[in-house]
Every structure is written in structure tokens, then in C-alpha cells.
Structure 1
Amino acid sequence: MTSQKHWLMTGAAVIAALGIGFAGARFIDTPGESSGADHAEAGHEEEEGRTGFVSLDPAQAAAAGVTVVQVQRGGGGELKLPGRIAFAPGAEAAVDAPLAGAVTRVHVGVGDRVSTGAALITLRSPDGAASRAEADAASAEADAARAAEARDRTLFEKGWISRARLDVTAAQARRAEADLRAARARVGAYGAPGAGGLTIVRSPIAGIVTRVSAAPGQVLHEEALQVAAVSDPRRLEVVFNAPPAAAALLRAGDAITSTVGGREAFPGVIVAIAPANADGVVVVRARVSGEAPPAGSVVSARVRTREAPETIVVPQEAVQSIDGVPSVFVAEAEGFRAHPVVTGRTSESGIEITSGLNGSERIAGAGAFLLKAELAKGEAEHGH
């Protein structure tokens, strides 16, 4: 009995000791567990602070081909618009015969250079002959009326006729002169035909003959009187169509640069901007400077819009899409951090940034795509 009590007491002591040891061990381990949690939380905060960050010092960046540039201000846009070379107003003349008749001679051919008033064709016209006869008759009547007025004025001064008689004679002379002026105007409009009805059709402008549509022996009717076309190749312009939103950025006097195929670019200046037509298209005309391609050539016109001094502009390669959001990599002391931005107009000179930068930053320009790739690589490794 005594032995049994001894063993029972010994077992209780062991159990008590084990309990105290477990409790003590648990108490001792608690600070260690708290320290581990604090460390994990600090690591998480540090990781959050590194989001969108690529650790790369300047030497490493340069070696990798990443350039660092200063954000610029004063961005203007550059519009690219299709257009064509056309003759300026008044630089092309479609020449019609002034009256019907038979062509007797063609004086020019396509490609000939002519001066103002140069003969293009000669035709014989009955209407021309009639107009010349009317003018000659009107001239004779006017001469007779003036002579009658002079005679009656002499008689009136001698007191042989009344004032009323002189007034009638003077009125008849004025009417005859008016008829003569009208007859001469018709003759002039008909190309001053001769007594036989021969009429010379002349060029109204100086330039190059671009079309001849009459031939000797051809009879011209009132429905089809066109005989030639003359154009001045020195007076060319670029005509291009622009949407209203783009045209709102343009002003008369803005410079343009146009190219045709593999030719060298040629400059110009905008001279007129028409209101939008029924199709919503704005026609813009620009005067060409220097040598230009022939009329009818299709051109690609680049128009530099006016600059806005407060606009932030970055190189095109600086803007990278990260998770579908336009971003730029801003240089920091230990690397580059991706900053989301809102972009505006794009031109060959850069991309406008309307929000996300203050203009004082230095950013990654050429090679920014390498930072985007490195950022994606780091995030993939972190995900594993």
C-alpha cells in the first residue's frame, strides 16, 4: 500500500512537471512568433513599396540601352492628311470659242507654252460676220448722227432753227453712239471677227497648253464650244481634306510639308480653310513654295499645329502599356518607377501627357520597353 502511494505521487509530480515545462516552453516561444509576424508584415510593406519598380542604377541602365531624358514642354501636334496637287484659282483656263463656226486652223499643240492673248485656233463663223456687219453699220449711223448734230448746231447758232430741233438731233446722235458701243461690245465678245467672219480664239492666261479639243474642219456648235485648256504650272497648291476636329487646330499661315512617293519633301503655307461641307469635310488649301509635282499628284501632307507652352511632351517610345494603362518610367535614385499617365495627341515629335507628370521628371526614353519587360519578369517570379 505504501509502495502504491509512492508511485502515484511520483506520477503526479512528473505530470505536473511536464505541464509546467509545456507552459513555459509556450510562453518562451511567443515572443519569437510575434517577431516573425512583424517581419512578415514589414516585408509585405516593403514589397508594396517596390510595386512597379525596376532596380537599375544609371550604369546598368546605360549598358542595357535605356536612355534617360528630361520631360519637355511646349508640345504641338503634327497632323498627317492626304491631299493632291491642284492649280490655284485663276491658274487654269478652259477656253471656249465665243461663238459657233468651222475651225480653219489650230495654232498650238499640247505642251506648247503660250503668253496671254496668244492665238489658239481660228474659226469662220456666220454669226461673227453678222456681228461685224452690225458694228460697221452702227459706226456709219453714229457718224451720220454726229454730222447731223454738228450741222444743226451751226444753224441754231445762226438763228435759222429752233432749240427744240437741235435737241432732237443731239438726242439722235447720242442714241446712235450708244448703239455703236453695244455693237462693238458684241464684236469684242465674239473675238473681234473680221468682215468674213474669221475669229481668232486667244488664251486668257499665260501658261502651258494642257488640252486641245479642236481640229481643222471641225464645226463647233453652241452645245460644245471648248477648244483648249491652258494652265500656269507655276501657280500650284496643295488641297487636302480634314475632319472638323483636326481643322480646328489649323490656321492660315501654318507651315506644311508635303511628299509625293519617293520625291523630296516640299514646303508650303496654308492660305485658306473652308467651313465643313455637307459631308463634314473641311477643305484646306496651301500655297506651294519651290518646285512641286505636277497637278493631280497625290501627296501626303504634314501640318505642324501651334504649340501650347504648358503642354508636357515625352518621346513616343517612353510611353509603355502596363496592364493596359499608359505609363512612363520615372528615374529615381535606385532605379525606375512606372507612373500611369493620360496621353493626348501623338505626333512624330512625341506624345502629349495631359495628366500624371508635373514636367520636372527625368524619364526613360529609348529602351523603356526593356524596363517593361524586366518589370513583368519580376512580377512573374514574385507570383511563384
Structure 2
Amino acid sequence: MNNITKKQLIAIASIILIGVLLSILILGIDKTKSEADEQVEESHADAKAQIAQGDDHRELSDETKQTQDSGGGAALHEGEFVALTDQQIAETGISIQTAGAAHIKTLTTLPGEIRFNEDKTSHVVPRLAGVVEHVSANLGQQVKKGQVIAVIASTALSEQRSELLSAQKRLELARNTFAREKHLWEAKISAEQDYLQAQQAMREMEIAVQNAQQKLIALGASPTVSANTGALNRYEIRAPFDGMVVEKHIALGEAVKEDTSIFTISDLSTVWADIIVSANDLNLVRVGAKVSIKATALESTASGTVSYVGSLMGEQTRTATARVTLDNPDMVWRPGLFITVDLIAKETEVSVAVSADTIQTINDKPAIFIRVPGGFIAQPVTTGLSDGKVTEIMAGLKPGTEYAVNGSFLLKSEQGKGASDED
């Protein structure tokens, strides 16, 4: 040890210093590497988050792509997602329904017209010629059964009543004669033959009186008259039933014939809806079929049942007539009013259907706003059968999918605003 020279000591010290420097350098490199590893791990975490978000968007894209592959429509653009919270949905009044199976009725529309119910319409005639003395019913007036609506002075009626009065007088005489002959026969004063002849005469007079009374009843005149009334020619015309005077052809002082239609009275509580049926639609119209009736000039609708289908075709029109009897308590359905009649032509069961009001047009394609987390998204669809209330969805929507009903137009407006902002 004592033999170590100064130069050797310097060399040993240099080696030790170099070793220390190398150790410090190696430790610095390891620390830098650790920091780099942490940055790499953070980058991996961010990438995983972006991948997760991309998967969410990819699910919507896949659903849209599936819709496109099935004929659902054009690809959706950005901004067609409408973000709404549950509170906002409640405040805007948007209701949610679920797509599912439905029963769709295919309708056929036929023209028609409202007419009088001929079973409750009467054309009043005098039945006797005469001169009008009084008219108490006016056009459009409601009359009751048995109400006097006009009075006619008729010589024919005077003759009929005179015949009745004469028969009544002869009957009275025949009864007195019969009573006297019966008393004499019972007292053994007169022969039985006289008694029987008086009885026969009385029976004949009774028949004559009944005959005269029936003639007056057939004319609508009172069968009981008195010679002291001085009005043997007064003929009162009465309403046959409750109804409205819809036609009037009579005036004071006018001479009318026995077959002249002076009034038309109709009970408008029911009317007929006559349907014009072409040859192509005859197989669709059946007695008992349910129909929906709409007035072309009014906002009035009614439902009814076909009660009659004509068996003949019109020579000029080449159409047949079907009929529905409608209740008309408020006098809304007026004779002469043109109508359209919706008849069920076919009933079809579909697997997926939505409310017809919810379908909107986006990118010139039908679309439905379906419920997704955080709001709604416009989903292109392919529509099929529709009855005006429910529409079949042939592609683009699965059963059980929730969609917006009322308020879908509002969603379309919001979607349009979003698309404009992004542009």
C-alpha cells in the first residue's frame, strides 16, 4: 500500500468520479422514462373514452344504415338529433307512444245525397174537389197528427153527409116500426110475418147508415154530422202524422181537384242517405255494412248501416242505389245535401303501425321522431297502408319503439334550426 504512487491515486479518484457521474446519468434517464410512460397511459385512457363515444355514435349510424339497407330513406345529416330533457318534453306537451301491431281498414269513398224518408213522407190530397176556404199551415211549419191544416167547401161532401142524415132518419123510422110490430106480435094482434118484415127493414137501414159513415171516414171527414150545424160542405184537411210542411200548393179561394197534392209533410227526425254505387263497387256494398257519412258542404259526420241495396242498374247512369237510414234529431241532414260515404273495402292486420299524425317529411322522405336517451332523433321509414288514423310502417321501425306523437312538427322545426346553426 505504501508503494502506491501519486499518479495511481489520481487514477483511482478519476475512476470513482466517473462512476458517480455515470450513476447520476442513469438515474435521470430512468425518471424521464417513467414520465413518458405516464403520458402514454393517459393517452391510452383518452383514446379509450373516444372509442366509447364513437361506439355510441356508431350504434345510431348502424341503425340508420340498417334503415337505409331496408329502403328507409336517405342518410340523416347532423342536426337531426333534437336534445330535450324529460322536463322540456312535458312542458312542450309532446306525448310518447309505442309502435306496435294494428288493424288497418282500407276505405272506399262513394258519392251520395240526403233524401226524404219516403216511409215518413206524405203527399196530402183533398180527396174531394172544392174551393179553399181557409189555410192554417205554412211552409216549414211543424204540425201535429190530426191538426187542421186547411178547410175546403165541397159539394160532394155535402151530398155524402146528406146521404148519411137521410139514412139515419130512415133507420129511426125503421126502429119505431119494428118496436110497434114486435109489440103487436107479442100481443097476438098482428101476424109474425109483419114483425119479421119490420125487423128486416130495420137491419137494412142500419147497414145503410154504416155504409154512409164509412164513406165519410174514407174521405177523412167526420162520420157524425148534424143537420143544424149548417156546414155540411165543410171539409177539414188534417195532418196525417207529426212532421214539417216541406211543400205547399194551396191558396185561399183556389179551386182544387180531389187528386191535387196540396201539401207535402215529412217527418225529418230520420232521413235517407242514398248512395250511388257503380258496377265496380257493387261487390263491396252489402246490407248490414257499416259506413261513415260526411257532408261535403258542412263539417258533419255520422255513422250508419246499409239497409237496402238496389237490385237494378239505372239505364242512363248505369249505377245502383244503396240506402242508409240516418237519425236526424237536430235537423242537420237536410234533403238535397250532397254527401260522401266511406265504406270499408278491406281489413288488414299489420305488425308495425304508428299514428298517422306523427309522420313528418325530412329530406323528401317520411320520418318519425323516435325517443333516444337525451331527446329524439329523426328516423327515416317506409310507409304502407293507412286509414287516415293509423299508418303501417314497412321498414325503418321495430315493434316496441317509442316515438313522439303530438309535437312531432315542433321537433321537426327544432331539428331544422339545429341543422341551420351547424351549417
TM-score calculated relative to the size of structure 1: 0.60
Residue in 1 that maps onto 2:288: 251
The Cα of 1:190 is off from its aligned counterpart by 3.0
Residue in 1 that maps onto 2:324: 285
Contact 1:145 / 1:173 at 8 angstroms: preserved in 2? yes
Determine the C-alpha separation between the residues in 2 that align with 1:313 and 1:300.
33
Change (3 A) 1:313 1:78: farther
Alignment partner of 1:215 is 2:251: yes
Contact 2:114 / 2:273 at 8 angstroms: preserved in 1? yes
Q: Deviations over 1:27-59 (max 9, x none)?
A: xxxxxxxxxxxxxxxxxxxxxxx6858686999
Determine the C-alpha separation between the residues in 2 that align with 1:338 and 1:112.
58
The 5-angstrom pairing of residues 329-344 of structure 1 reads: none
Q: Secondary structure of 2:105's match? A: coil
The Cα of 1:183 is off from its aligned counterpart by 0.7
Contact 2:139 / 2:246 at 8 angstroms: preserved in 1? yes
The Cα of 1:361 is off from its aligned counterpart by 9.8
Paired amino acid for 2:334: A
Residue in 2 that maps onto 1:226: 261
The Cα of 1:209 is off from its aligned counterpart by 2.4
The Cα of 1:307 is off from its aligned counterpart by 8.6
Contact 1:266 / 1:291 at 8 angstroms: preserved in 2? no
Q: Deviations over 1:124-174 (max 9, x none)?
A: 111111111111111112222233333333333334455554444333322
| Structure 2 portions without partners, runs of 5+ | 1-68, 83-95, 223-229, 314-318, 360-369, 371-378, 409-423
The Cα of 1:311 is off from its aligned counterpart by 6.2
Determine the C-alpha separation between the residues in 2 that align with 1:167 and 1:51.
107
The 5-angstrom pairing of residues 97-246 of structure 1 reads: 97-161=126-190, 163-192=192-221, 195-222=231-258, 224-242=259-277, 243-246=281-284
The Cα of 1:201 is off from its aligned counterpart by 1.5
Of residues 314, 329, 337 in structure 2, which corresponds to 1:298? 337
Change (3 A) 1:159 1:278: same
For the aligned residue pairs, the C-alpha RMSD in angstroms reads 4.9
Of 132-141 and 226-235, deviating more is 226-235
Determine the C-alpha separation between the residues in 2 that align with 1:184 and 1:197.
15
Q: Secondary structure of 1:99's match? A: coil
Determine the C-alpha separation between the residues in 2 that align with 1:256 and 1:197.
53
Q: Deviations over 1:231-267 (max 9, x none)?
A: 333333433234422213x626x46343342x33243
| Structure 1 portions without partners, runs of 5+ | 1-49, 320-330, 368-384
Residue in 2 that maps onto 1:265: 300
Determine the C-alpha separation between the residues in 2 that align with 1:143 and 1:218.
39
Contact 2:269 / 2:328 at 8 angstroms: preserved in 1? no
Q: Secondary structure of 1:274's match? A: strand
Quick one: percent identity of the two aligned structures? 17
The 5-angstrom pairing of residues 14-163 of structure 1 reads: 70=99, 72-161=101-190, 163=192
Q: Secondary structure of 1:142's match? A: helix
Determine the C-alpha separation between the residues in 2 that align with 1:361 and 1:276.
47
Residue in 2 that maps onto 1:20: none
Change (3 A) 1:276 1:304: closer
Aligned length: 302
Determine the C-alpha separation between the residues in 2 that align with 1:68 and 1:55.
25
The Cα of 1:188 is off from its aligned counterpart by 2.6
Change (3 A) 1:230 1:257: same
Change (3 A) 1:307 1:175: farther
Change (3 A) 1:318 1:119: closer
The Cα of 1:317 is off from its aligned counterpart by 10
The Cα of 1:285 is off from its aligned counterpart by 1.5
Change (3 A) 1:75 1:162: farther
Determine the C-alpha separation between the residues in 2 that align with 1:220 and 1:55.
79
Change (3 A) 1:282 1:87: closer
Q: Secondary structure of 1:204's match? A: coil
Determine the C-alpha separation between the residues in 2 that align with 1:245 and 1:365.
40
Determine the C-alpha separation between the residues in 2 that align with 1:288 and 1:177.
48
Residue in 2 that maps onto 1:349: 389
TM-score calculated relative to the size of structure 2: 0.55
Contact 2:270 / 2:329 at 8 angstroms: preserved in 1? no
Of residues 303, 307, 310 in structure 2, which corresponds to 1:276? 310
Contact 2:140 / 2:246 at 8 angstroms: preserved in 1? yes
Determine the C-alpha separation between the residues in 2 that align with 1:226 and 1:183.
26
The Cα of 1:337 is off from its aligned counterpart by 11
The Cα of 1:225 is off from its aligned counterpart by 2.0
Change (3 A) 1:306 1:155: farther
